Chains A and B, each alone.
Chain A
């Protein structure tokens, strides 16, 4: 039976109030004003449940399955799960029962039947080294698989820092020649959901947006949903006031650490990291790294792995003194050489001195 989404939910035991509460929380997580939560609830409740659930194809490339873990573990049977229920996940290696040829067939069937309409989710980076031989599925390199699957996709979600920016595989010296999805696909809308792993609700938020409004949320210059990545961890951090007051933890077990002061000195990358951890938190809203006393690693930013030590404060440079010492030697040597040249010139001028007589005052 077809009807508004709210009816579908009601049949599954979800009341209108539960749904309103969920939307309020989702709006809060998406950093939308509280009024947007009500608007979303009204729009979604009224929206007709799709005749056919939108197809989602999820391809894993050079990845660690952490992103999948993050998504699947985040929601116990809850509203978020119901949002997932509103889609048809047609291919997901880790989750699907099918394997081998069956799985391949499911993939191709889904691609064929939903051509131009399906949502393609990618996690993991794409290795270009050795003609892509570093990572293959069913004899196909990730590059080929991506190009093929991207052709019929309505949009692509690059899930996790590897798919979005290349992530850890791309870290210096990048042995596999890993690149991000957006490095390869140029003609499809791409939503980057970086993070190592990304926050699950970002995924459901994007899906909710897709289901509610039939469109993708607003993205920033790096292709990330503005709602979640619009501000830095530092801006939304509950420890921010201590930064402003100049109160810092200096070690992980000092007075400042116990008082919950700012972790900037301990290497927190919050000021340069755009993500929603500070508001959405992790593990069902239990906590998040800074709340548990550890600085942000900056995992949702490009090349976070090569951004200097995790425990080095942002204002600390890599190590300029090593080169500086060499420069000092060169500078001193140059200085000494110049000194000799100058003194030579000066004493030459002196030895060429001709005593001035009265006649010498006139031209």
Chain B
């Protein structure tokens, strides 16, 4: 298989397979999780403004008072890499084109140099977060194979994408193909690893907000 055949495969068949597994997995997992249901809360509710599932979905994105100081790496590193990922994934021109091609939706892109900077910062943040996971006793204690694996799955697309744009290490065609392949791996594993929090985080926050909101506690 030559470079171009490799790229053609990852853009064609490979992507077909990855997207299919992703879509299939996400739906299956969402059903599997949320169909378990929940008993109605029979206690008399207490209404408090701001205490609801929807409020919590948004409010939980803000760190609780004092927590940033306690675990600065988790928060600053975490924010940086999540926001960075969002910028790189959704505001890089070739990515927007992909979305446009699939959905018909498009929006303005950011200059490539800026994306480049964001990518480097994001990768740096991810490395810092990884170092923190290795260094901090609690994180190391909680870490399983899945944590190292999903970190790698998330890091590879950034790295290969950056190397491709920078024309480093391997010819662009091969690097681009590897980049797409790494994204495909990410898509394939996302529904079955802790990366699925990208979906369940909203459900979890909503439940937390709903259950506590019933008691009039704005969490």
Contacts and interface: CB of A to CB of B under 8 A. Distances in A.
Nearest to B36: A342
Contacts of A264: 93-94, 97
A316 B98 contact: yes
Contacts of A322: 16
B172 A318 contact: no
B4 A328 contact: no
A334 B94 contact: no
Interface string B17-29: 1111111111111
A327 B7 contact: no
A327 B32 contact: no
A232 B27 contact: no
- Pick from B7, B27, B176 the residue with the most CB of A within 10 Å: B27
Given A265-B93, A272-B4, A315-B95, A323 B20 contact: yes
Contact of B23 (A298, A303, A331, A338): A331
Interface stretch (A137-145, A239-247, A277-285): A239-247
A74 to B, nearest CB: 26
Contacts of B172: 232, 234, 271-272
B107 to A, nearest CB: 12
Tell me the dominant secondary structure on chain A's binding face: helix
Given A321-B102, A327-B19, A342 B28 contact: no
A48 B94 CA distance: 54
Contacts of B36: 342-343, 346
B1 to A, nearest CB: 10
B4 A315 contact: no
Contacts, number: 144
B70 to A, nearest CB: 38
B19 A306 contact: no
Interface in B1-22: 2-5, 7-8, 11-12, 15-22
A328 B27 contact: yes
Contacts of B24: 327-328, 330-331, 334
Contacts of B8: 303, 306-308
B5 A303 contact: yes
A317 interface: yes
Given A320-B19, A342-B32, A308 B97 contact: no
A88 interface: no
- Pick from B32, B36, B37 the residue with the most CB of A within 10 Å: B32
Interface stretch (B52-60, B109-117, B148-156): B109-117
Contacts of A338: 28, 31-32, 35
B101 A313 contact: yes
A312 B111 contact: no
Interface string B64-93: 000000000000000000000000000001
B173 interface: yes
22 contacts: A222-B2, A246-B93, A246-B110, A264-B94, A271-B172, A271-B176, A272-B4, A302-B3, A302-B4, A308-B11, A313-B98, A321-B19, A322-B16, A324-B19, A324-B22, A331-B25, A335-B28, A335-B29, A335-B30, A335-B32, A338-B31, A346-B36
Given A244-B111, A335-B31, 4 more contacts: A245-B111, A304-B4, A318-B15, A327-B21
Interface of B: 2-5, 7-8, 11-12, 15-32, 35-37, 93-95, 97-98, 101-102, 109-113, 167, 172-173, 176
